Amino acid sequence: MHAGKGMPWWTWLATFILFVIVMWLSQAGPPQRGEDAASLPVPANAEKLVASADFDAVREIVTSRCSMCHAREPVWEGILRAPRHVFLEEDGDIARHAEQIYAQAGRSNAMPPGNITDVSMEDREVLARWYEGATGQKRHWLW
Ligand code: HEC
The structural domains of the chain, with segments of one domain joined by +, span 39-135
> From CA 30, how far away is CA 80, in angstroms rounded?
15
The predicted pLDDT at position 36 comes to: 52
Q: Comparing C-alpha atoms, which of 75, 60, 66, 61 is closest to residue 112?
A: 66
- CA-closest residue to ligand 1 atom 6: 112
Which among 80, 104, 116, 143 is the best mutation to test ligand 1's pocket, defined by most ligand atoms within 8 Å of the CB?
A: 104
> From CA 88, how far away is CA 71, in angstroms rounded?
6
- Span 75-96, pLDDT tens digits: 999 999 999 999 999 998 999 9
The predicted pLDDT at position 38 comes to: 54
Residues of the chain with confidence (pLDDT) below 50: none
> From CA 117, how far away is CA 79, in angstroms rounded?
14
**Number of C-beta neighbours around residue 123 at 10 A:** 19
Ligand 1 centroid distance, CA of 60 (Å): 17
The predicted pLDDT at position 116 comes to: 97
Asked if 123 contacts 62 with a C-beta cutoff of 8 angstroms, the reply is no
**C-alpha atoms less than 13 angstroms from C-alpha of 93 in its C-beta half-sphere:** 21
Ligand 1 centroid distance, CA of 120 (Å): 16
- CA-closest residue to ligand 1 atom 15: 83
**Number of C-beta neighbours around residue 122 at 10 A:** 9
DSSP, collapsed to helix, strand or coil, labels residue 43 as coil
The predicted pLDDT at position 4 comes to: 83
Q: Is the Cβ atom of 96 under 6 angstroms away from ligand 1?
A: no
Ligand 1 centroid distance, CA of 137 (Å): 22
The predicted pLDDT at position 40 comes to: 60
The predicted pLDDT at position 39 comes to: 56
Asked if 95 contacts 101 with a C-beta cutoff of 8 angstroms, the reply is no
**Number of C-beta neighbours around residue 23 at 10 A:** 10
